[in-house]
Structure 1
Amino acid sequence: MFRGRAATIEADRAVSDRLLSVAGDGEPAVRVWQPHRQLAFGRRDCRLEGYDTAREIARERGFSPIERGVGGRAVAYDGETTLAFARADPVADFRRGTDERYEQATATLERALAELGLEPRRGEPPETFCPGTHSLSVATTDSSERKVVGIAQRVRQDAALTAGIVLVEADDEFVGTLEAVYDALGVGFDPETVGSVAGSGGPTDPDTVRATIEAELVSDATATVEPVPDRLESP
């Protein structure tokens, strides 16, 4: 299990490669952390006419624009209250097991959110951030839904990385940045669909949420904790 954050976005992203390398050698690896302040665009975003404008909007608002190799549309991390999680598992046949890994991750995050006092629902409302099949939402007082978790997966020959985002808090600046970016991309987005753990009655402390998710991802296994160094080269 890796714990902590590297000194830069680039070094921090290399840790995900390290997780896959560990899994490729036959051992699962887990990480839950607070990524640097950034706005991560998906591959489909990069092909849109408004992509350059969207990148500039993110930069002007203090979110470093990057491109990521897993997941769909753009997601933002505020550097403090937005968590990322990842679990890398060995793969015997990369053509199999995708649905099972998604199910395991979804059930794990359901348990973690329930432990934090939420009542998560599978699925997501229309026109939310980073739309995808594997998401968790919470109901609001008016019976509408807000997304709090998105899950994606990256598979290679010997290992699979199931990862995602958890919004502990989502203030007006965070939501406004997503709204401006999605507008520039020409992708539908409803700011009212953005939820958070704290906004749903859960804890406001990211460390509490991190520890709960981490414990669920590790489950009954005996985990060795490896602090993330300031610098880590991709293997």
Structure 2
Amino acid sequence: MRVYRGRADAVDADRAVSERLVERVAADREPAVRVWRPHRQVAFGRRDARAERYDEARAVAGERGFPTVERDVGGRAVAYSGSTVAFARVTPVEDPRSGLTERYDAATADLLDALKSLDVDAREGEPAESFCPGTHSVQADCDGRARKLAGLAQRVRADAAVVAGVLLVRDHAEIAAVLAPVYEALDVPFDPETVGSVAGAGGEGEPDAVVEAVERALVEGEPASASIERAG
């Protein structure tokens, strides 16, 4: 198991790092984990890009100080404030038609373990009208109501599978504020009150501590020992 740390100097370069990671796992057949803090941005999914008012959604994000990018997986728009944590576990596969559920279950369990170590009592699921709605999500109680903290997605190639996700550490109010007009432009139901964070749920609000906890959980979820490499 390899662990890749750090981010590149620009959004496009950061995405290239993740793609190189997938190619390396596919070539050498050794699993890898990367946990990092993406640059400030709103990342749109492929479904968003087909929306009639997509250009408007991008414009309102930019007006609020969030550069926009498109990611190559499904799902809806996600905002990264600079404190938000992204994670990916890449594993080689022999049969791309099998193992989907098992990989999701393992990653979700590891994420819940990481949140527990950060003093957050989290659980699977999400409130209605959450950001980037999906079956594989994690929520916790913040200020007396359930709020979404994380979402997971999976991309499977013929030779490698990537289970990736986003975890909100803090800045949930700022993230809700930019996503509200973005989702309105995309004509997707969204309730800003469903946006939560690790800090909002009473947990550790220091992003680097969250990175370490998630990295540790994802690596210990695999039997192999870890070797550390810089992601750049």
Instruction: For 1:174 and 1:130, locate their aligned partners in 2 and report how far apart those are by CA, in whole Å.
Output: 12
Partner of 2:78: 75
- Compute the displacement of 1:21 (Å): 1.4
Give 2:214's aligned amino acid. Answer: I
Give 1:65's aligned amino acid. Answer: T
Instruction: For 1:68 and 1:139, locate their aligned partners in 2 and report how far apart those are by CA, in whole Å.
Output: 29
**1:116 paired to 2:126:** no
Instruction: For 1:65 and 1:42, locate their aligned partners in 2 and report how far apart those are by CA, in whole Å.
Output: 11
CA distance 1:205–1:140, change in 2 (3 Å):
closer
**Cα deviation digits, residues 192-230 of structure 1 (max 9, x gap):** 10010001110110011110000011115321111122x
**Cα deviation digits, residues 127-168 of structure 1 (max 9, x gap):** 0000000000002353x3100010000110100010000000
- Please tell me whether the aligned partners of residues 54 and 184 of structure 1 are also in contact (alpha carbons under 8 angstroms): yes
Identical-pair percentage: 56
- Please tell me whether the aligned partners of residues 22 and 28 of structure 1 are also in contact (alpha carbons under 8 angstroms): no
- Please tell me whether the aligned partners of residues 113 and 120 of structure 1 are also in contact (alpha carbons under 8 angstroms): yes
Instruction: For 1:157 and 1:107, locate their aligned partners in 2 and report how far apart those are by CA, in whole Å.
Output: 25
- Compute the displacement of 1:171 (Å): 4.1
Instruction: For 2:109 and 2:231, locate their aligned partners in 1 and report how far apart those are by CA, in whole Å.
Output: 27
**1:176 paired to 2:182:** no
> CA RMSD of the aligned region, Å?
1.1
**What TM-score results when the alignment is normalised by the length of structure 1?**
0.94
**Cα deviation digits, residues 15-56 of structure 1 (max 9, x gap):** 111221122120001010000111000111111111000001
After superposing the two structures, state which structure 1 stretch, 18-27 or 3-12, moved more.
18-27
Q: How many equivalent residue pairs?
A: 227
**Cα deviation digits, residues 59-108 of structure 1 (max 9, x gap):** 111111111012400000112x1010000000010011111100011001
Partner of 2:146: 145
CA distance 1:103–1:125, change in 2 (3 Å):
same
Instruction: For 2:192 and 2:171, locate their aligned partners in 1 and report how far apart those are by CA, in whole Å.
Output: 11
Match of 2:35 among 17, 26, 32: 32
Partner of 1:102: 104
Give 2:190's aligned amino acid. Answer: F
CA distance 1:100–1:171, change in 2 (3 Å):
closer
Task: Structure 1: state its 5+ residue gaps.
Answer: 230-235
Partner of 1:199: 200
**What TM-score results when the alignment is normalised by the length of structure 2?**
0.95
After superposing the two structures, state which structure 1 stretch, 27-36 or 59-68, moved more.
59-68
Partner of 2:23: 21
Task: Structure 2: state its 5+ residue gaps.
Answer: none
Give 1:34's aligned amino acid. Answer: R
Q: Secondary structure at the match of 2:91?
A: strand
CA distance 1:123–1:171, change in 2 (3 Å):
closer
Instruction: For 2:57 and 2:204, locate their aligned partners in 1 and report how far apart those are by CA, in whole Å.
Output: 32
Instruction: For 2:176 and 2:142, locate their aligned partners in 1 and report how far apart those are by CA, in whole Å.
Output: 17
Give 1:124's aligned amino acid. Answer: E
Partner of 1:233: none
Instruction: For 2:163 and 2:20, locate their aligned partners in 1 and report how far apart those are by CA, in whole Å.
Output: 14
Instruction: For 2:171 and 2:146, locate their aligned partners in 1 and report how far apart those are by CA, in whole Å.
Output: 15
Give 2:44's aligned amino acid. Answer: F
Runs of 4 or more off by more than 4 Å in structure 1? none
